[in-house]
A and B are shown apart, each in its own frame.
Chain A
Amino acid sequence: GENVEQHPSTLSVQEGDSAVIKCTYSDSASNYFPWYKQELGKRPQLIIDIRSNVGEKKDQRIAVTLNKTAKHFSLHITETQPEDSAVYFCAATLIQGAQKLVFGQGTRLTINP
């Protein structure tokens, strides 16, 4: 069935280092892959997204890559800062013409000062 797997479930990095979170999806028809950041007690906030016709997208310290053949996509955060500490969720849309996000299980990222 529809499935998005996300790894790792927890990630701890030193401030200034890079963090990478990886996701795989099961349905080759998926065409949109957003990443959300959720701070404790707050709503998920979109931080970056990528569409299936693009292989990579960057926004300042954040980048996302997509490999459609392997059906996986990754989030890269460079020069991490304490405020990057949060839970990050990847997602994929699996149905055309309707809004349905299938989320990964989330990665708790901790930036150590």
Chain B
Amino acid sequence: KAGVTQTPRYLIKTRGQQVTLSCSPISGHRSVSWYQQTPGQGLQFLFEYFSETQRNKGNFPGRFSGRQFSNSRSEMNVSTLELGDSALYLCASSPWGHRSEETQYFGPGTRLLVL
């Protein structure tokens, strides 16, 4: 099976702009989670989607949003970009997501730089 894929891999934006990142989970996986990775804050949970519904959300402002499509592909959107949004954005998928102890498989990430 192909692994988790993310597009684009690299992105440069300026403050105030918005950005949309895409994640395609492993075929058959229905749960997609998003994480932000920065040197200072480490890996932080953004949100999780299952069956097109957001099931859980981390402590990020409303500028961060997401959605999931019927084929389980997911997008996240960041509006009104700030310098501090520069980070590696990782998505991870798991088969069902019904049990918290399912293994999550990570994509390669999208590196976002905000100037």
Do the two chains bind? yes
Interface residues of A (CB under 8 A from B): 31-32, 34, 36, 42-46, 49, 51, 89, 91, 93-106
- CB within 8 Å for A103 and B42 given contacts A31-B101, A43-B90, A46-B105: yes
Residue from A44, A46, A49, A106 within 8 A of B90 (CB atoms): A44
A-B complex: 9 closest residue pairs judged by Cβ atoms: A32-B101, A93-B100, A103-B43, A98-B56, A43-B106, A105-B42, A98-B55, A99-B97, A44-B106
Contact indicator A89/B103 (Cβ below 8 Å): no
Which residues B31-63 have CB closer than 8 A to chain A? 31, 33, 35, 42-45, 48, 50, 55-56, 58
Question: Which residues on B are within 8 Å of A, measured CB to CB?
Answer: 31, 33, 35, 42-45, 48, 50, 55-56, 58, 90, 92, 94, 97-109
Measured CB to CB, the nearest residue on chain B to A106 is B42
Q: Are A100 and B33 closer than 8 Å at their CB atoms? A: yes
Of A43, A46, A99, A106, the contact of B48 (CB 8 Å cutoff): A99
Known: A43-B90, A46-B105, A98-B55. 11 other contacts (CB 8 A): A34-B103, A95-B56, A95-B100, A96-B100, A98-B100, A99-B31, A99-B48, A100-B100, A101-B33, A101-B92, A103-B43
Choice from B94, B107, B108 contacting A99 with Cβ under 8 Å:
B94
- Minimum CB–CB distance from A87 to chain B (whole Å) comes to 10
Flag if A99 contacts B102 (CB, 8 Å): yes
Max count, chain B CB within 10 A of own CB: residue among A43, A49, A91, A95? A43
Residues of B within 8 A of A105 (CB): 42
* Contact sample, A vs B, 9 pairs, CB 8 Å cutoff: A31-B100, A44-B43, A46-B104, A49-B103, A89-B42, A95-B56, A98-B48, A99-B33, A99-B100
Give the CA-CA distance A98 to B94 in the complex, in Å.
11
Report if A32-B100 is in contact (Cβ < 8 Å); known contacts: A89-B43, A98-B48. Answer: yes
CB-defined contacts of A93 to chain B, threshold 8 Å: 100-101
